[in-house]
Amino acid sequence: MAELKKVKSSMMNAVHDLPLLVARDEGFFRDEGLDVDVLVTPGSGQHNSDDRALKDDIFKRGLEATYDQGQCDQFRMCEWGIMKRAVEADSAGLRGRKIVALGAAMSSFAIAVARDSDAYEPEMLKDRPIAVTPNNGSHFTTLKMLEGFLTPEHVKTTGAGTMLQRLEALRQGKVAAVSLMEPWISVAQKQGFRLLIESHSSRSEAAGDDLDGPTLAAMFRAQARAVRVLERDPTPYIHYFIAETGDLLEPHELQTWRLLHAAPQPYTRERFDDTYNWTVKWNMVVPGATFENTVDNRAWD
């Protein structure tokens, strides 16, 4: 029997990484000749998360530092977050990374307010603090959701800690609203908070030049197979979400209809142009990057 090729891939939160976990659990990576070690690099979504995913310097956060130190080969984040990290790593003198695919998870995010809030529409959050994780999915997706209602100067985002901590900040009236992802959207609804608006946010896959195209292709085939399993029935994997809440949810309380997945696919030039220009517009990434120096679809070569 041929020796399995070892790959180290990181995950932060189940809503972003469920196809990766399913592919590992069901042996789909092994079927592709891979031994994929999934390293947990906690994001802001675990009930016991610390501040590693919240540092002002994004390259000192847990996942990014793990990758830069060579402890993992491949990772995924929100599409805009990967764009920022792929564009700015070289200028920061850090380990290079490219966008290598549009990922398998379209993570759900929502903006929640207190039950008795006087905000009933997104535009009623004008100039009012909304808690996010800066330069991560909750931040970018909040801007995405609000830009149809408010001009940029009237969108006020702020930090208030992890998902659990920002719900407490909202409960105490320290912020007007919070940006949440699943399973914390379901937690917020269970606890009586009210949702103003929600959206899905696509992941991007990132890797360094040392992870070859055939290996990436095998990883993406395994994740595509996992997506088909999740489309049929995600309930066997709900335990990952429940664990992240510290059992604040019962399995039946997670609103699985919000989960959305699709097979990984090439990251197109049009998608790069649209996403990069949007990120530059919000002053969240440096200008001057190109498709050629940011994207590498070698898995499909």
Domain boundaries, the chain: 5-106+202-300, 108-201
Q: Provide the pLDDT for residue 15.
A: 94
Same fold, 5-106+202-300 and 108-201: yes
Q: Provide the pLDDT for residue 41.
A: 84
Please write the tens of the pLDDT for every residue from 258-291. Answer: 999 999 999 999 999 999 999 999 988 999 999 9
Tell me the three state secondary structure of residue 262.
Answer: coil
| CATH number of the structural domain 108-201 | 3.40.190.10
Q: Provide the pLDDT for residue 52.
A: 65
Low-confidence ranges of the chain (pLDDT < 70): 1, 51-54
Cα(103)–Cα(27) distance, integer angstroms: 19
Please write the tens of the pLDDT for every residue from 8-28. Answer: 999 889 999 999 999 999 999
| CATH number of the structural domain 5-106+202-300 | 3.40.190.10
Global confidence as pTM: 0.93
Q: Provide the pLDDT for residue 256.
A: 95
Cα(107)–Cα(140) distance, integer angstroms: 12
Integer CA distances (angstroms), 62 to 40, 88, 234, 256, 282, in order: 9, 17, 28, 28, 25
